[in-house]
Structure 1
Amino acid sequence: MRYINFMPAAAIVMAVTSCSEKPRMELETYTVEPTSMSEIVTATGTMESVTSVDVGTQVTGIIDKLYVDYNDTVTKGQLLAEIEKTLLDSELKSADASMASAKANYEYAKKNYERDKALHDEQLISDYEFQTSKKDFDVARLSYEKTQADRVRAAKNLNYAEIYSPIDGIVVSREVEVGQTVVSSMNVANLYVIADLDNMQVVGAVDEADIGQVKVGQHVTFTVDSYPDDTFDGTVTQVRINPTTTNNVVTYEVIVGAANPEHKLIPGMTANLTIYTLELNDVTAVPLKALKFQPTPAGEDDKLPQPKPLSEPGKHTLWVVRGNDLVQTDVELGVSNSVYQQIKTGLKPGDKVALQYHLQMMQPQKEGQGEENPFMPKPPGANRKR
Structure 2
Amino acid sequence: MNHAGRGKAVRGFGWLAIGLVALGGAWAARAVVTRRSAAMATPEVARVARQDLESVVKATGVVRPVTGAEVRVGSRASGVVRRLHARIGDRVVKGQLLAELESGELTARRDQAAASLASVHAVRDYAVAEIARKHRLAAAEALAPSELELAERRVAVARAAVEEARANLAFARTQLGQTRIEAPIAGVVSSVATQEGETVTASLTAPTFVTIVDLARLEVWAYVDETDIGRIRVGLPARFSVDAHPDRELEGRVEAIYPKAEIRDNVVNYVAVVRFPPPPQDLLRPEMTASVRLVLDHRGDALTVPRRAVRREGGRAFVLVQQAGRLARRWVSTGSRDEQRVEIVEGLGEGDVVVIGEPAAEVVAAH
Q: Same fold (TM over 0.5)?
A: yes
Q: CA deviation at 1:237?
A: 4.5
* In structure 2, C-alpha distance between the alignment counterparts of 1:119 and 1:352, rounded to whole Å: 119
| 1:274 equivalenced with 2:293 (yes/no) | yes
Q: Contact 1:243/1:250 (CA < 8 Å) preserved in 2?
A: no
Question: Which amino acid letter does the alignment assign opposite residue 102 of structure 1?
Answer: V
> Mean alpha-carbon deviation: is it higher for 86-95 or for 32-41?
32-41
Match of 2:218 in 1: 200
Q: CA deviation at 1:254?
A: 2.0
Match of 1:222 in 2: 241
Match of 1:361 in 2: 362
Pairs within 5 Å for 1:253-292: 253-257=271-275, 259-261=278-280, 263-285=282-304, 292=316
Q: Contact 2:238/2:254 (CA < 8 Å) preserved in 1?
A: no
Aligned to 2:49, the other structure's residue is in SS state coil
Pairs within 5 Å for 1:326-337: none
Q: CA deviation at 1:90?
A: 0.7
Question: Which amino acid letter does the alignment assign opposite residue 193 of structure 1?
Answer: T
Q: Deviations over 1:253-288 (max 9, x none)?
A: 222345543525332334343333334342235677
Aligned to 1:34, the other structure's residue is in SS state strand
Question: Which amino acid letter does the alignment assign opposite residue 95 of structure 1?
Answer: A
| 1:36 equivalenced with 2:38 (yes/no) | no
* In structure 1, C-alpha distance between the alignment counterparts of 2:349 and 2:94, rounded to whole Å: 58
> Mean alpha-carbon deviation: is it higher for 255-264 or for 145-154?
255-264
* In structure 1, C-alpha distance between the alignment counterparts of 2:143 and 2:267, rounded to whole Å: 87
* In structure 2, C-alpha distance between the alignment counterparts of 1:362 and 1:44, rounded to whole Å: 44
* In structure 2, C-alpha distance between the alignment counterparts of 1:138 and 1:342, rounded to whole Å: 91
Q: Deviations over 1:1-40 (max 9, x none)?
A: xxxxxxxxxxxxxxxxxxxxxxxxxxx9985431332233
Match of 1:379 in 2: none
Q: Deviations over 1:189-245 (max 9, x none)?
A: 321111123443222332343223233351222333xx3855542423421343135
Identify if the C-alpha distance between structure 1 residues 181 and 130 changes in structure 2 by more than 3 Å, giving closer, same or farther. same
* In structure 2, C-alpha distance between the alignment counterparts of 1:219 and 1:337, rounded to whole Å: 15
Q: CA deviation at 1:108?
A: 1.7
Identify if the C-alpha distance between structure 1 residues 44 and 139 changes in structure 2 by more than 3 Å, giving closer, same or farther. farther
Match of 2:172 in 1: 154
Identify if the C-alpha distance between structure 1 residues 190 and 119 changes in structure 2 by more than 3 Å, giving closer, same or farther. farther
* In structure 1, C-alpha distance between the alignment counterparts of 2:209 and 2:113, rounded to whole Å: 28
TM-score, normalisation: structure 1: 0.63
> Mean alpha-carbon deviation: is it higher for 69-78 or for 59-68?
69-78
- Please identify which structure carries the higher helix content: 2
Aligned to 1:177, the other structure's residue is in SS state coil
> Mean alpha-carbon deviation: is it higher for 188-197 or for 270-279?
270-279
Structure 2 residue ranges without an equivalent (≥5): 1-43, 320-325
Match of 2:198 in 1: 180
Question: Which amino acid letter does the alignment assign opposite residue 98 of structure 1?
Answer: S
Identify if the C-alpha distance between structure 1 residues 268 and 293 changes in structure 2 by more than 3 Å, giving closer, same or farther. closer
* In structure 1, C-alpha distance between the alignment counterparts of 2:292 and 2:331, rounded to whole Å: 40
* In structure 1, C-alpha distance between the alignment counterparts of 2:211 and 2:160, rounded to whole Å: 42
Residue 342 (structure 2) aligned to one of 340, 354, 371: 340
Identity %: 28
Q: Contact 1:236/1:254 (CA < 8 Å) preserved in 2?
A: no
Q: CA deviation at 1:130?
A: 3.4
Identify if the C-alpha distance between structure 1 residues 120 and 208 changes in structure 2 by more than 3 Å, giving closer, same or farther. farther
Structure 1 residue ranges without an equivalent (≥5): 1-27, 296-302, 308-317, 321-330, 364-386
Residue 171 (structure 1) aligned to one of 163, 166, 189: 189
Question: Which amino acid letter does the alignment assign opposite residue 65 of structure 1?
Answer: R
* In structure 1, C-alpha distance between the alignment counterparts of 2:171 and 2:188, rounded to whole Å: 31
